Amino acid sequence: MATPQENPRLEQIRRSWQQRRQINEKLATISTKVGVYSGKGGVGKTTVAVNLAATLAQDDLKVGLLDVDIDCPNVTKVLGITEKADYVNGQIVPAEKWGVKVISMSFFQENEEEAIIWRGPMIHNAINQFLQSTDWGELDYLIVDMPPGTSDSPLTVMQTLPMDGFVVVSTPQELANIDAKRCINMIRKLNLNVIGIVENYTGEVFGQGGGENLAHEVDAPYLGSLELRAAYRDSSCPTALLDSEVGEEYASLVDGMKQSLNALGRDPA
């Protein structure tokens, strides 16, 4: 029999178990869930997540994009979404553009320039609210734009959302790859899967090869490089849909991701 001191802890365990069960039931109609993750901000994680989702949608797949980068929710900006998500009968109904269903914290900000200054428990509650209350319908893929780093926010997502694996975004520079290695170690410590590593901003400015070297070092698949191109200046729609060379890079990334998921025993669409 539990002592009075143990009762609050047991109650918390029970609530957490019920919450995870509800989330699993809510996401049961989603075939594959992939996190796009980075060890630091500024490496192009959100751009990769958006273009990856848009490329999958171009293949007539049902795709959702969940932006849980609570501090800096930029997915809607990259997609050019102006309408808000809806709220019907206690359920959040995603907005949709370019064939991608989208949920982001930015839908719930009155002013996009306002800083979201929240402590860990508030971020945890917001993420859980998204997971428990969003009506995604049937999806082939849910792409999750993760918070960067290895602190409370990404930990909450990893422990709450049953993910098939993570695409890790880095750049050619040594410091970016040191941080990427940290987040790869975090993924593996939680017994989760690294789908592969992507090197972003490849080219004359930042160099190349750092991401591929990292993949060999940590024994993870290398999914390819994304060159730094002027085409990304056009924000009218995801660049993979505008520029054929960028589109080819993302098509190759999608193929590599599917091969890696198959090797991990997953069954991607």
Could you report the per-residue pLDDT of 18-74, keeping only the tens digit for each?
777 878 888 889 999 999 999 988 899 999 999 999 999 999 999 999 998 877 778
User: Is residue 115 scored above 70 in pLDDT?
Assistant: no
pTM for the structure as a whole: 0.90
User: Is residue 118 scored above 90 in pLDDT?
Assistant: no
For 83, phi and psi rounded to 5 degrees?
A: -80, 155
The answer for residues whose C-beta is within 8 angstroms of residue 226's C-beta and 6 or more apart is 44, 48, 198, 199, 200, 201, 202, 246, 249, 250, 253
CA gap 243, 54 in Å, rounded: 13
Name the CATH superfamily, with its identifier, for domain 28-263: P-loop containing nucleotide triphosphate hydrolases (3.40.50.300)
pLDDT of residue 83: 83
Amino acid, single-letter form, for residue 87: Y
Average confidence (pLDDT) over 149-159:
86
Task: Write out pLDDT tens, residues 186-214.
Answer: 999 999 999 999 999 999 999 999 999 99
Residue 110 pLDDT grade (very low, low, confident, very high; cuts 50, 70, 90): low
CA gap 259, 41 in Å, rounded: 27
Exposed / middle / buried, residue 109 (Cβ in 10 Å: 0-12, 13-18, 19+): middle
Local structure of 264: helix, strand or coil: coil
Local structure of 238: helix, strand or coil: coil
User: Is residue 76 scored above 80 in pLDDT?
Assistant: yes
Local structure of 178: helix, strand or coil: helix
pLDDT of residue 120: 59
Average confidence (pLDDT) over 108-135:
71
Where do the domains of the chain lie? Answer: 28-263
Q: Within 10 Å of residue 219's Cβ, how many Cβ atoms?
A: 8
Amino acid, single-letter form, for residue 169: V
User: Is residue 155 scored above 80 in pLDDT?
Assistant: yes
pLDDT of residue 15: 67
Average confidence (pLDDT) over 241-266:
96
Residue 119 pLDDT grade (very low, low, confident, very high; cuts 50, 70, 90): low
